[in-house]
């Protein structure tokens, strides 16, 4: 009998488990209820009474050995599963290695713009990205077949050309003016779509912020002062501003606004094409036709509107020279904005 026990001990000590199957085979043979040890315990009734105590002790030794070996085999298998790394104890006092991610640069600029205008009483409005012709063009003074419609290459729906992906967030201005009563001091940020070939300088979608202010006695001086305040808040108090006459169907008069180049401080660099100025937004006094289209008396109310591209502002602020980077989800790009969060 003791020979059988010694043989079992030797077998247990030499056991190896390189796979889960081998581990299971070991468990069945030495650990489970139907293991060889069960047979040994059952044999106890065949042992002479005076030898039973010693026998029981040696069977228990085998059982203990089998269990210890089993733990050892499990540990060995786990460490080889994790690429053979040593099972060194984990130091729980070390700081956790968690990559928290960052605010997207466009989200950051969007939030900054909203914050700046909220300080002077603007609220934020939202509207649909799928628009009808009236809200995207007609109400904004783009007459049928007017060349102005060709200024913006539009994604129309083939089966229903009255439906399009909005080309600007000015459509939100119409929706707000239709449904609410003046005065308005509203900001409409959102995604817009143009049928453009994708390149470093153009994309088929980008983000705009449109803003408008309608009340009694709103004049050009309010427009200039509001945008001047905005440019200084966003680009720094030493920022200079200039307006250049321009044309938009929905404003009259219209103007593009430039700021002094924030990179070279007006000295001239390749971003400002050595002019010292960079264009950041379009603006103007809302055309009376647009107010009338929304049921607002243009004799009583006047207003101004402005619109800017969030990507464009972010490009100037962070000196990003390729528009495509914003939507590629490349963490090497996004990680550079960690300081913003
Ligand atoms: Zn410059």
**Binding-site residues from annotation:** 252
CA of residue 339 to ligand 1 center, whole Å: 24
CA of residue 269 to ligand 1 center, whole Å: 4
CA of residue 201 to ligand 1 center, whole Å: 18
335: region left, alpha or beta (phi > 0 left; psi from -120 to 50 alpha): alpha
pLDDT at 88: 66
CA–CA–CA angle 51, 53, 54 (5° rounding): 70
* Separation of CA 245 from chain center: 37
- Stretches where the chain sits below pLDDT 70 are 1, 81-88, 146-152, 341
CA of residue 157 to ligand 1 center, whole Å: 41
Distances from the Cα of 124 to the Cαs of 110, 165, 216, in angstroms?
11, 21, 21
CA of residue 289 to ligand 1 center, whole Å: 38
Alpha helices per DSSP H over 212-259: 220-235
**Binding-site residues from annotation for Mg(2+):** 252
- Its pTM surpasses 0.75: no
pLDDT at 84: 47
pLDDT single digits (tens) 113-139: 999 999 999 999 999 999 998 998 888
β-strand pairing of 130-132 with 160-165: antiparallel
CA of residue 228 to ligand 1 center, whole Å: 19
Closest CA to 211 of 173, 238, 249, 237: 173
CA of residue 273 to ligand 1 center, whole Å: 7
CA of residue 308 to ligand 1 center, whole Å: 19
pLDDT at 190: 95
pLDDT single digits (tens) 272-283: 889 999 999 999
CA of residue 260 to ligand 1 center, whole Å: 8
CA of residue 168 to ligand 1 center, whole Å: 28
User: How far is it, in rounded angstroms, from Cα 131 to Cα 163?
Assistant: 6
């Amino acid at each position: 009998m003791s020979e059988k026990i010694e043989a079992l001990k030797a077998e247990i000590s030499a056991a190896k488990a390189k796979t889960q199957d081998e581990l299971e085979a070991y468990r069945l043979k030495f650990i489970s209820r139907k293991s060889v040890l069960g047979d040994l315990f059952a044999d106890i009734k065949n042992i002479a009474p005076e030898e039973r105590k010693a026998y029981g002790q040696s069977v228990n030794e085998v059982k203990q050995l089998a269990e210890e070996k089993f733990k050892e085999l499990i540990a060995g298998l786990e460490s080889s599963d994790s690429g053979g790394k040593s099972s060194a104890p984990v130091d729980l006092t070390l700081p956790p290695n968690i990559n928290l991610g960052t605010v997207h640069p466009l989200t950051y600029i969007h939030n900054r713009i909203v914050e700046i205008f909220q300080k002077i009483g603007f609220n934020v409005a939202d509207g649909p990205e799928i628009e009808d012709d009236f809200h995207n063009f007609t109400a904004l003074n783009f007459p049928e077949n007017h060349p102005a419609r060709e200024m913006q290459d539009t994604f129309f729906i083939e089966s229903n050309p009255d439906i399009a992906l909005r080309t600007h967030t000015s459509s939100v201005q119409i929706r707000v003016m239709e449904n609410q009563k003046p005065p308005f001091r509203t900001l409409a940020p959102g995604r817009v779509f143009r049928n453009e070939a994708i390149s470093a300088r153009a994309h088929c979608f980008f983000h705009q912020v449109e803003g408008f202010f309608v009340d009694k006695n709103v004049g050009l001086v309010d427009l200039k002062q509001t945008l001047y305040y905005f440019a200084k808040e966003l680009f720094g108090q030493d920022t200079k501003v200039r307006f250049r006459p321009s044309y938009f169907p929905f404003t009259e008069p219209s103007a593009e606004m430039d700021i002094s180049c924030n990179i070279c401080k007006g000295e001239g660099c390749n971003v400002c094409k050595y002019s010292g100025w960079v264009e950041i937004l379009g603006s103007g006094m809302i055309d009376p036709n647009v107010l009338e289209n929304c049921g607002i008396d243009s004799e009583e109310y006047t207003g101004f509107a402005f619109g800017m591209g969030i990507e464009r502002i972010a490009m100037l602020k962070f000196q990003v020279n390729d528009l495509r980077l914003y939507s590629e989800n490349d963490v090497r790009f996004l990680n550079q904005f960690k300081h913003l969060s």
